Amino acid sequence: TLPLCEAAKIEAMYIDLLGANVDVVWVPDLNSLTLLNHSVKVVDGLPAIYLNESPLTSRPTAALSKSLVEKTVAFLAIIALSPLLLIIA
């Protein structure tokens, strides 16, 4: 957490983490902010504004869906490549 006077540093860190698959959580001083349409949750007793959430953590079924798609594609690839793998072996 950083005070609002460090807004430039907060913005720089936020921009650096936009491409990363991580949750970016800002715990601001809410008394000095006017908020519109932000996801605000309580983290360890402190209000937190979720600026950017990883798709895997923002939806409960996303991790399961991702796993099923990966396993299905891998299975289909093994089936499709099995003749070539037998020839090579």
Work out how many domains the chain is built from and give that number: 2
**pLDDT band for position 83 (50/70/90)?**
very high
Quote the domain boundaries for residue 45. Answer: 1-58
Q: Determine the pLDDT at residue 14.
A: 82
65 and 84 inside one domain: yes
| For residue 81, pLDDT beyond 80 | yes
Q: What pLDDT is recorded for position 22?
A: 79
What is the chain's Cα-based Rg? Answer: 21
Q: Name the residue with higher pLDDT: 80 or 9.
A: 80
Residues 4 and 46 in one domain: yes
- Is the domain of 47 the same as that of 79? no
d(CA 78, CA 82) in angstroms, rounded, equals 6
For residues 69 and 53, state if they share a domain. Answer: no
Same domain (yes/no): 17, 53: yes
Same domain, 86 and 74: yes
pLDDT tens across 19-66, in order? 787 777 777 666 666 555 556 678 788 777 776 666 676 677 888 888
Say which amino acid occupies 55.
Answer: P
